[in-house]
Structure formats: C-alpha cells, structure tokens
Amino acid sequence: MRILFLLDFFSSLGGVEFYNYLLIKEFAEKNIDLKIYIGERPKYNYWIDLLSNLNNIECYYPEVFHDELQSRIIEKKFLRKFTKDINNWKPDYIYVHPAGKLLITYFEENPKSEVPIISTEYTTPCKEASTWFCSELSQYINRIEIIVATCESVAYGLRNFHKFTNKIEVIPHLIPVTTGWTGDEGDINSIGCICRLSPEKGVDFLLGAWRSVNKLFPETSLHIYGHGKDEEHLKELTSSLGISGSVFFEGTYLPISGIDEVASRHRIFVQPSLFESIPTSILELIARKRAIIATAVGGIPEIISNEEQTGSLVEPASTDEISKAILFLLNNNKYISLFSNNGYEKFKIIYDFKKNVAKMMSLFANNKQGGFGT
C-alpha cells in the first residue's frame, strides 16, 4: 500500500504533530510505503529528526521558510513535485491533518483527482474556532471521503458547523501507553499548566484566578509550560496582577520524553482553554495519574466529569470557577488522588493505544490493492 501524507505543518511541539508522528511511525513499522509533504518548512528539527529514523518514508518540505503558509507562491511551487508524485507514484490514499491550505491548493490544482482522501480533525469546529479554518474549506470539505473525529464533540462540529455529509469515524486520540506512575509524584503546592500561549488557551483567566489562590496560599506557585504569540502579554499581565513572584514561565517541554519530567513536578494541572477538541497534554497527564482542572469545552467533558470525579470541570472564561477548583484541591488533598485514579481508570478504557491504532489502520485497509500486507 502507498499512502501520501499531506500536512500543513510539522514544526511546533503540540498535539497535531505528536498525533501525526505516532501514526506515521505505526505505518512505517508495518512496511507501508509513505511519502510525506509538509507545506511549511519546519522551524524546529525535532520531528524531522525523528521521522528520519523511520523506514519506508520520504519526507519533503519547501526550501524557503514561510510562517503559517502565508505565501501561496511557495506553496504552489512546492505542489509541482507533489502533483507529479500523484500522477507517477499513484498512492492508494492521501492522508491529511489538518485539512488546510495545502489540501485546498491541491484541490485547486487537481480538480478531477480521484485519489481517496482521509483526514483527521484537530479541533472542534465551532464559531469560536472559525478563524482556524481556511475560508475556502466549506466548498471542498465534502471531497474528503472520511474524516476521523478524535471525540464526539468534533463529530458534532463537523456535521453542524462544517456541514460535512460524508463518513465520520470517531476514533480517540493516539496516546502511547505509560507505566510505572503511582500518582504520588510531584508537589501538591506547585500547579502546572501546559499549553500554547495564545488567546484560545485562556491563560489570562488562569492568571486572574491565580491572584485569588496565591493570597490564601502564598507558598504555592504556578508553572506555565509553552510558548506563543501571547507570551509577552501574559508576562505583563502577571506583573500587573502582582503575582510575578509565584508564577513561572518555564518555556517549552519536549513531547514523548519531556512530558514525564513535567508531570513528575506537579500533581495538579490546569487547562483553561476557551475551545478545544481534547488537548493532548490533558490526556498525557491523565495517563500519568495527574489531577486535572479543565474547562467544559469541546470534548473535554467526555473524559473529565464532576459526577464521575475524574477531574474538576469548570466553565470557560471564569476566574472565579478556576480559583475555586484550585482552592478546593489545596484544601482537600484526598481529592487529588481520587481525581487522579478515577481519571486514569477511565482513560485506560477509552484510550487503548493498540485498539485505536487498529481502528485507524482499518480505514486504509479496504482499498483496491487488498490492504496491509500486500
């Protein structure tokens, strides 16, 4: 089988890249022929270095860096090789994640292409997330044969916001198995937050909540892991709120191995997002028996439930609810272990890595060549 991966970006250390790397790795280990086209030249070599160690793959990206695919000139020039490969290499499938500018430009250049396309959606389609999607996507989205939704919330958004009418498969996020975590690692009095520092992650509301927490628990500290366009603004906000002495911007951690180090430092983590599917960082932390406080957006309520006590679910954009949730755990330490253990047990059922990889593989198995192993 031949699969051509069409990816807008493979540069940051976020969930989309982690997901795509794991999927590519699984395909490569099954000796599937892969070609990977990345529309934006990566800023960092982290993922490219990992991909270079895999068998049966060829990876291509533009020679010139252009941030967030702003320049269609480079994109179209890059597509000349891609279009040639479509005609000569004859892939059985094109896999896309995300369905963005590179896919749309491909459709524009290849209006009669009959290669079946499978895509994975990386956030819940909704009004709040509308600027994340290319404006042209609506006219092309139903040329995608199958879209994988990583949670029910994404599936709902695909139908109701994108008006997608073809097949949707709900397959939970690919999160590798972790072992050896007891739930007792880390400091109760230092709270962690892992996210990109951009407006949709709601970190400004977490900082507003932290001022109330730190007044009552002055020995506590908040540690924020990530970079982004809001970083300087958030640091200025921290200073203006008078909480600089207890808030630490820790920079970026490396996925796969780096999450272990970060998870071992804190027993409580907060995810204050304004919209999401389900953040990869939440799932990685639940897999390591961390207690999670998160906003009720996207698919997060599918894994975190106040009723099931698998974590603490709060309303988005509410400093009051975030601060109350943190203070509750600081005042009632037994719930830290309760949330950690209950969340982990639910995680094991939903995010069975081998089962979910098998579901993804099955989407590609029923092709004219006879599937894997041919």
Flag whether pLDDT at 312 surpasses 80.
Answer: yes
- Return the pLDDT at 12: 76
Q: What is the mean pLDDT of residues 280-297?
A: 96
**Strands 167-170, 146-149: pairing kind:** parallel
Residue 269 has pLDDT above 70, yes or no: yes
In this prediction, residue 367 carries a pLDDT of: 53
**Rounded distance between C-alpha atoms, residue 129 and residue 45, angstroms:** 28
The sheet carrying 93-96 orders its strands as 57-60, 33-38, 2-7, 93-96, 117-120, 146-149, 167-170
Predicted local distance difference test score (pLDDT) of residue 78: 82
- Is the model's pLDDT at 271 over the cut of 60? yes
Measured torsion, CA atoms of residues 32, 35, 37, 42, in degrees rounded to the nearest 10: 80
The two three-digit tokens of residue 317, written as one number: 């954009």
Beta pairing partners, 251: 225
CA-wise closest residue to 67 among 142, 9, 151 = 9
Residue 361 to residues 58, 238, 256, 354, Cα–Cα distance (Å): 20, 46, 22, 10
Q: Does residue 81 or residue 315 have the better pLDDT?
A: 315
Position 73 pLDDT exceeds 80: no
**Reported confidence tier of residue 373, pLDDT bands at 50, 70, 90:** very low
Count CB neighbours of 361 within 10 A. Answer: 16
Question: Which residues, 6 or more positions from 4, have their beta carbon under 8 angstroms from its beta carbon?
Answer: 34, 35, 36, 37, 85, 86, 89, 91, 93, 94, 95, 115
Which is higher by pLDDT, 13 or 217? Answer: 217
Model pLDDT, residue 370: 42
| pLDDT score recorded for residue 6 | 93
Instruction: Look at residue 371 and tell me whether its pLDDT is greater than 80.
Output: no
> pLDDT-derived band of residue 108, with 50, 70 and 90 as boundaries?
confident
Mean pLDDT over the full length of the chain: 90
Higher pLDDT, residue 55 or 27: 27
* pLDDT score for 369: 47
Residue 266's pLDDT band, with cuts at 50, 70 and 90, is very high
Predicted pLDDT of residue 70: 63
Per-residue pLDDT, 374: 37
Highest mean pLDDT among 46-50, 154-158, 179-183: 154-158
In tens, the pLDDT along 217-250 reads 999 999 999 988 899 999 999 999 999 999 999 9
**Predicted local distance difference test score (pLDDT) of residue 178:** 81
Give the whole-number percent of the chain exceeding pLDDT 70: 95
- Encoding tokens for residue 323? 């601060």
What is the 3-state composition of the chain as percent helix, strand, coil, each rounded to the nearest 5?
45, 15, 40
pLDDT at 109: 82
Output the pLDDT for position 76: 76
Identify the CA nearest to 199 among candidates 110, 132, 270: 132
Domains of the chain: 2-175+352-365 (3.40.50.2000), 187-350 (3.40.50.2000)
Rounded CA separation 298/321 (Å): 18
Instruction: Judge whether residue 299 has pLDDT over 60.
Output: yes
Most confident of 97-111, 204-218, 276-290: 204-218
pLDDT surpasses 70 at 68? no
Task: Estimate to the nearest angstrom the gap between the alpha carbon of 26 and the chain centroid.
Answer: 18
For the chain, the maximum distance between any two Cα atoms, rounded to a whole number of angstroms, is: 67
| pLDDT reported for residue 13 | 72
| pLDDT tens by residue, 137-167 | 999 999 999 999 999 999 999 999 999 999 9
